[in-house]
Structure 1
Amino acid sequence: QFTAAYIFGAVCPENSKTAGLIMPKANTEGMQHHLNIISTTVTSSKHALLIVDRAAWHLTEKLDMPTNITIMPLPPYSPELNPVEQIWQQLRRSDFSNRCFEDYDEIVSVCCQAWNKFAKCAEAVHSLCSRKWALLE
């Protein structure tokens, strides 16, 4: 009765860089693909800090962690501390609410359009995802 797609998204609000991936399941395989994409978008002289909740696929030892990414798990039951959660709230309000989709392909298409629209707006990336506590100086 229900079909879903999952957006894996990461941002660098300081540089307005994004990395996104649409997957049919939220699992270790999807997380590995996401890590690989993030790793290729990180500037060669930089290192990424990826803030995640404690979903099993975020922290499993089965992941082949790229050397230019460090995972920082949030405390339990605190997803609101993850700046990326603001993106999902925004996309639900602007692109996903009160809709029915014909099939999985349409879901993926709408997810891609929504993520790409967000990713192109440097102001949205910066304003939704910047946190003073996350700045390194």
Structure 2
Amino acid sequence: MDEVSLRYPNDRIVLALDGAGWHRSHTLKLPHNLCLLMLLPYSPELNPIENFWDALRKESFHNCAFDSLDALENHLEAAMRDMEKDRECVQSIVAWPWVINSLMK
């Protein structure tokens, strides 16, 4: 979370978390520009990152085979860096109206 906060110091960052028990802490200190949005348990369809992964798979992994796990990881990192550069595309995938509206309360 610190790395993401430092990479985007002028942005307000929303991190959606599912209901997993390990996503809870009473001692966690959030960076100033990051807030958590707790989703209902057992509802992956509510998590915007699921659509991000779908888009990433379609865009960067269609008909790909890798010689090793390292090759897969390198390809994933490069694909994520490429997608990160297209801010409008990422926002169109993850910035659902109900997510944005939940932050305005």
Which category describes the TM-score, using the shorter chain as reference length?
A: 0.7 to 0.9
Deviations 1:60-91 (A, max 9, x none): 43874334233222001212212222110011
Q: Answer 1 or 2: higher relative contact order, Cα 8 Å, separation at least 6.
A: 1
Q: Greater share of helix residues, 1 or 2?
A: 2
The TM-score, its normalising length taken from structure 2, stands at 0.74
Unpaired runs of 5+ in structure 2?
none
Q: Distance in 2 between matches of 1:92 and 1:62?
A: 35
Answering whether residue 65 of structure 2 is matched by residue 100 of structure 1, we say yes
Distance of 1:36 and 1:107 partners within structure 2: 26
Equivalent residue of 1:76, what SS? coil
Which structure is higher in strand share? 1
Q: Aligned in 2, Cα 1:119/1:67: closer, same or farther, shift over 3 Å?
A: closer
Task: Say whether the 8 Å CA contact 1:39–1:66 is kept in structure 2.
Answer: no
- Distance (whole Å) between structure 2 residues aligned to residue 64 and residue 128 of structure 1: 28
Q: Name the aligned partner's letter for residue 77 of structure 1.
A: Y
| RMSD, matched Cα | 2.5
Answering whether residue 94 of structure 2 is matched by residue 125 of structure 1, we say no
Q: Which residue of 2 aligns with 1:38?
A: 4
Question: Which of 56, 81, 88 is equivalent to 2:46?
Answer: 81
1:53 aligned onto 2:53? no
**Structure 1 position 97, deviation (Å):** 4.1
Aligned residues of 1:50 and 1:72 also touching (Cα < 8 A)? yes
| 1:73–1:94 Cα change, 3 Å | same
Relative to structure 1, the CA distance from residue 37 to residue 109 in structure 2 (aligned partners, 3 Å threshold; closer, same or farther) is same
Task: Report sequence identity in percent.
Answer: 29
Superposition TM-score, scaled by structure 1 size:
0.59
Once the two structures are TM-superposed, the CA of residue 42 in structure 1 deviates from its matched residue by: 4.1
The 3 A distance-change label for structure 1 pair 41 and 63 is farther
Distance in 2 of aligned mates of 1:63 and 1:89: 33
